[in-house]
A and B are shown apart, each in its own frame.
Chain A
Amino acid sequence: KNEVEQSPQNLTAQEGEFITINCSYSVGISALHWLQQHPGGGIVSLFMLSSGKKKHGRLIATINIQEKHSSLHITASHPRDSAVYICAAMNRDDKIIFGKGTRLHILP
């Protein structure tokens, strides 16, 4: 069992829908990252958070340390949001553990 689990694995939605991607982890962490991997393969860091909530444009990331859970939300989704979203947790030994990613496809 991976220490970082993402759900769903795949998600297809219509343009404009509100999207939620979940990340659960089983270890104590000091930070959690959300990454976006474009269809061409490039990876971009979206958020790094250790508590609370962060917002950037239409993207919102939240984390609940007690429940060991983080969510990435996309409001007013657009086809250009189609990508793989990766959650990565840094445990207290400074070891980084990646989820397998959620493949998001937004239909026009």
Chain B
Amino acid sequence: NAGVTQTPKFRILKIGQSMTLQCTQDMNHNYMYWYRQDPGMGLKLIYYSVGAGITDKGEVPNGYNVSRSTTEDFPLRLELAAPSQTSVYFCASSYSGPWGYEQYFGPGTRLTVT
């Protein structure tokens, strides 16, 4: 199993550009999550999904959108990138949840908005 994979690993965006961060898991997990990690701060939940077709907001959803058309994929869309979105983004999945089961994390995407 590849586990949770994320692409790209690094990206630099200009203010106002858009992009999609890809996340795929091959463990047939129902729950998937997107987090951001700012320097010196704890992880914060952006969005999560309890299964295909179902998504919900986390603590910091503004400026982001998600979709879950399949069990495997959970892309995160940034529209009109802003410097405040400079962060490291982690995707994670779990068999069940939320957070009642062990979470498996992807390697992260480091995004810089200038």
For B, the interface residue count at a CB cutoff of 8 angstroms equals 21
B74 sits at the interface (CB 8 A): no
Chain B CB within 10 Å — which of A43, A45, A101 has the most?
A: A43
Q: Contact check: which of A42, A95, A100, A101 meets B105 at CB < 8 Å?
A: A42
Q: How far is the CA of A2 from the CA of B40 in the complex (A)?
A: 13
Pair B103/A45 contact, Cβ less than 8 Å: yes
List A residues 66-108 near B (Cβ within 8 Å).
86, 88, 90, 94-101
Q: Contact check: which of B41, B88, B100 meets A41 at CB < 8 Å?
A: B88
Pair A96/B102 contact, Cβ less than 8 Å: no
Given the contacts A33-B103, A43-B105, A44-B105, A98 and B98 also touching, CB distance less than 8 Å: no
Pair A48/B105 contact, Cβ less than 8 Å: no
For A, the interface residue count at a CB cutoff of 8 angstroms equals 22
Would you call the interface of chain A mostly helix, strand, loop, or mixed?
strand
Q: How far is the CA of A16 from the CA of B42 in the complex (A)?
A: 28
A61 sits at the interface (CB 8 A): no
Interface string of B65-102 (1 = CB under 8 A from A): 00000000000000000000000101010000011111
Instruction: Report the minimal beta-carbon distance from A37 to chain B, rounded to whole angstroms.
Output: 9
Given the contacts A4-B42, A86-B42, A100-B41, A45 and B104 also touching, CB distance less than 8 Å: yes
